[in-house]
């Protein structure tokens, strides 16, 4: 049958009379059976500034066909839609926007005993952004490692860094020597092990020999320090109760160059932090029986 206008007629009769009706009609083409319309899906992939992030996705589908297109992966960015899906009914254009990922850098400033010494640093950075943070000066503490004086790098994900501090050496200078101590570090729980440093340093010429040298101190209630002895250049260090004694070799004269250190690793029967209080240095110079006491 040809498409287009056409006519038809019909006759109606009754008795000796008849009437003829004529009418016209129009046939609208609708396509052959099985022939479906096609539609184009276009997806633009852009950054927030509308520059191109990935090449466009362009594909032709049959009318009513279902589509599901996964958005391309771009390192450090998150797409506004993980995938684009639906049933197509007309030419369709969709824009997927990629936003840069943001990550938090946290820097914890803690002592070797695990206690915070200053408020942590926390800042949000873009993916790929550089950072360089100077470690703060904390009264009473020094950095355990000079390698952590500056924390720097590039952000590729959330990051947490611990910067460790140790108790600053407590020293006292008198005449020709310096003496003192530092709580270097700790580990374990109960008993807790501490690495201490006690020192006596002759640093001024001419060096005056010492005859006796000891350090006394108090520790928290309920905490005891076991006896400990260690030989070193020039004599022997001994921990006895709450006293550290330097016993010289030979002629009884503590006369050495440089820094004589005593590094006991002491197990303390408490999980609490070790604190030395009421610390005093006791010493006598060679040829004198007068004891000099310096409080640190």
Q: Mind listing the pLDDT tens digit for each residue in 29-55?
A: 554 444 458 999 999 999 999 999 999
Q: Mean pLDDT, to the nearest integer, of 70-74?
A: 97
Least confident of 12-21, 117-126, 132-141: 12-21
CB burial of residue 96 (10 Å; 0-12, 13-18, 19+):
buried
Helix (H, G, I), strand (E, B) or coil at 74: coil
- Do 133 and 88 fall within a single domain? no
Which two three-digit tokens encode residue 223?
């905490």
Residue 246 has pLDDT above 90, yes or no: no
Mean pLDDT of 275-284: 78
Co-location of 191 and 92 in the same domain: no
CATH number at residue 106: 2.60.40.4300
Q: Are residues 131 and 231 in the same domain?
A: no
**Cα 46 versus chain centre, distance:** 31
Confidence category of residue 185, pLDDT binned at 50, 70, 90: low
Which among 93, 86, 85 has a CA at the least distance from the CA of 44?
93
64 and 110 share one domain: no
Indicate whether 152 and 176 sit together in one domain. Answer: no
As beta bridge partners, residue 262 has 198
pLDDT in tens, 119-128: 999 999 999 9
Strand 159-167: give its sheet, edge to edge: 116-126, 102-111, 159-167, 141-143
Taking the C-alpha atoms of residue 143 and residue 32, their distance in angstroms, rounded to an integer, is 84
Tokens at 239, concatenated: 């921990």
Mean pLDDT of all residues in 204-214 = 62
Q: How far is CA 199 from CA 148, 213, 296, in A?
A: 25, 10, 13
Instruction: Give the distance from CA 237 to its chain's centroid.
Output: 41
- Tell me the percentage of the chain whose pLDDT exceeds 70: 61
All residues at 6 or more sequence positions from 149 whose CB lies less than 8 Å from its CB, including other chains: 134, 135, 143
Q: Is 72 contained in some domain?
A: yes
Q: CA-to-CA distance for 149 and 145, rounded, in angstroms? A: 8
**Of 115, 135, 167, which residue constitutes the final position of a domain?**
167
Q: Which domain holds residue 106?
A: 102-167
- Examine residue 19 and state whether it is found in any structural domain, yes or no: no
1 burial level (CB within 10 Å; 0-12, 13-18, 19+): exposed
């Amino acid at each position: 049958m040809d498409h287009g206008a056409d006519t038809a007629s019909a006759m109606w009769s009754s008795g000796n009379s008849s009437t003829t009706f004529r009418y016209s009609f129009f046939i609208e083409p609708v396509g052959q059976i099985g022939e479906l319309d096609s539609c184009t899906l276009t997806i633009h992939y852009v950054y927030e500034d509308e520059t191109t992030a990935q090449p466009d996705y362009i594909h032709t589908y049959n009318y009513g066909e279902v589509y599901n297109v996964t958005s391309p992966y771009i390192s450090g960015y998150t797409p506004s839609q993980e995938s684009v899906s639906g049933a197509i009914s007309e030419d369709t254009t969709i824009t997927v926007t990629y936003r840069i990922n943001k990550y938090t850098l946290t820097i914890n400033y803690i002592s070797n005993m695990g206690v915070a010494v200053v408020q942590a640093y926390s800042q949000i950075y873009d993916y790929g952004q550089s950072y360089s943070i100077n470690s703060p000066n904390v009264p009473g503490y020094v950095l355990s490692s000079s390698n952590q004086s500056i924390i720097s790098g590039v952000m590729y994900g959330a990051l947490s860094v611990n910067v460790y501090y140790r108790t600053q050496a407590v020293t006292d200078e008198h005449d020709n020597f310096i003496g003192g101590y530092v709580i270097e570090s700790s580990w374990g729980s109960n008993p807790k092990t501490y690495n201490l440093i006690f020192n006596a340093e002759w640093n001024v010429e001419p060096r005056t020999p010492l005859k006796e040298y000891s350090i006394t101190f108090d520790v928290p209630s309920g905490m005891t320090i076991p006896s400990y002895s260690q030989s070193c250049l020039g004599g022997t260090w001994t921990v006895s109760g709450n006293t550290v004694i330097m016993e010289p070799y030979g002629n009884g004269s503590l006369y050495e160059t440089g820094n004589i250190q005593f590094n006991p690793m002491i197990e303390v029967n408490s999980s609490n932090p070790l604190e030395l209080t009421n610390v005093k240095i006791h010493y006598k110079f060679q040829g004198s029986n007068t004891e000099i006491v310096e409080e640190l």
